[in-house]
Amino acid sequence: MNYYIVIPAHNEEQFIALTLESLISQTLLPKKIVIVNDNSTDQTADIVLAFAKDNPFITLVDKKSSAIHLPGSKVIQAFQTGFETLDENYDVIVKIDADLIFPLDYFESIDKYFKSDPTIAMVGGFCYIEKNGKWILENLTDKDHIRGALKAYRKEAFKQIGGLKPQMGWDTVDELLCKFYDWKVVTDSSLHVKHLKPTGANYNKVSRYKQGEAFYTLGYGILITTIASAKLALMKKRPFLFLDYMRGFWKAKSAKTPLMVSAKQAKFIRRYRLKKMKEKLF
């Protein structure tokens, strides 16, 4: 398996060396790693260049963008900048965050899944965060969902879903579109990845309605959005977020915000999500 990795990075001097060290120590090495230095003001670029000096498959790309962290759009725009520098000689394209430590056989294990079944579109492990000196499963984990921090896509599936969409909800719509096109999404709970900076640590007040907007643009409709908003707010242990999510949904609906999917895909997504919800309930 030839796999390429793209890593969006904004002020990651504290963690990126640990991430790169775990990648260059893999039992199955990547053919290329592109780090997109997205408007960093710290030593991120210098650290990456030091790794690139001894590892020629590592390259650095600079990108200028707003310093405001809006979930979804900023990180995927950076990913796209890096992706556009790559050639077509890959079997799997991987988007990861710059604050992860992978087990040394992580990508060898990912490779085995892709080789075992040509209908597998995506594979990923589980993220663990440190709490009181112990590594525990990050509470946003769902056994049926690959976290946005560590996405690995089969080339054919990645192209069929149209790549990654630069807005919040990108890391949900990708899996739903894979399902729409009859691809499989696989998670492996035995692959423990250390997530050094918890999800959402940089989100600001401007982004608080974005989740509800994402639910709207995914084509969820009011019923699924209500259930999903309640579940997510409880998972984050911040029940009042439910109100923000619902406001975001109604704001997007009132503004007639364009969906991320077609009408046919939205219909499929609603049926699929309701089916999964019923399975979990009963």
Span 231-266, pLDDT tens digits = 888 988 888 999 999 999 999 999 999 999 999 999
114: enclosing H helix or E strand? helix 106-116
pLDDT of residue 60: 97
Q: Token pair for residue 231?
A: 């579940």
pLDDT of residue 68: 53
pLDDT of residue 26: 98
Q: Is the pTM of this model over 0.75?
A: yes
Coil vs helix vs strand at 20: helix
Tell me how crowded residue 87 is: count the other CB atoms within 10 A of its CB.
Answer: 8
Alpha-carbon distances of 184 from 76, 252, 280, rounded to whole Å: 23, 30, 19
pLDDT of residue 99: 96
pLDDT of residue 277: 86
Nearest to 222 by CA among 161, 164, 273: 273
Q: For tokens 């997205």, what's the residue?
A: 38
Per the CB < 8 A criterion, the answer to whether 93 and 82 are in contact is no
How far apart, in whole angstroms, are the C-alpha atoms of residue 37 and residue 96?
14
CATH 3.90.550.10 segments of the chain: 3-195
3-195 under CATH 3.40.250.10, yes or no: no
- Enumerate residue ranges in the chain where pLDDT < 50: 201
pLDDT of residue 206: 57
Per the CB < 8 A criterion, the answer to whether 41 and 76 are in contact is no
Percent of the chain beyond pLDDT 70?
94
For residue range 66-77, list pLDDT tens digits in order. 655 556 688 999
Q: Token pair for residue 85?
A: 């520098």
The residue length of the chain stands at 282
